[in-house]
Amino acid sequence: MGNGNQLHRLQSMTAALVGLFFFNAIIGVFGLRLAIAGLAAFVLGAVAVSVAFPVQGAES
């Protein structure tokens, strides 16, 4: 149980750090090219997750 919680926290922190990187990449902190690449990666990732993991009971 304890290990499960720790793993969950670690996963959440990793997701937050990855999100922070994408947020800054998208607002152009790392240059326009990386901003466009960050935007494309984020959008493709979001679409891929939405399509690959259809939520149970929903029609999407």
Partner 1 sequence: MKLDPSIIARIQFAFTVSFHIIFPTMSIGLAFFLAVIEALWLKTQKSVYLEIYKFWLSIFAMGFGIGVVTGIVLSFEFGLGFARFAQMAGPAIGPLIALEVLTAFFLEAGFLGIMLFGLHRVGPKLHFFATCMVAIGTLISASWILSANSWMQTPDGVAIHDGHLTVLSWRHVLVNPSWLYRLPHMLTAAYLTASFMVAGVGAWYLLKGKHQHFARTTLALGTAFGTVLIAGQVFIGDILYGTMLKYQPSKMQAAEGFWEKQSQSPAPYYWFIIPDQNNQRNRFQLGIPYLGSIWLTHSLDGRVEGLRNTPRDLQPRMGMVFYAFRIMYGLAMVMFAAGLASLWLRFRGKLFSSRWFLWILVFMTPSGIIATLAGWYVAETGRQPWVIYGILRTVDAISPVPAKALLSTLIAFVCVYAVFITAFLVFAFRIIRRGPGEVPPHAEASGSVKNAFRPYVLDSPERLVNSSITQRS
Which stretches of the chain bind partner 1, using CB under 8 A? 11-12, 15-16, 19, 22-24, 26-31, 35-36, 39, 42-43, 45-47, 49-50, 53-60
* Shortest Å distance, C-beta 56 to partner 1: 7
Q: Which residues of 32-44 are buried (b: 16+ CB within 10 A; e: fewer)?
A: eeebeebeeebee
* Shortest Å distance, C-beta 57 to partner 1: 4
Are the beta carbons of 41 and 22 closer than 8 angstroms? Answer: yes
Residue in the block written with tokens 């466009």: 36
> Between residues 2 and 59, which has the closer beta carbon with respect to partner 1?
59
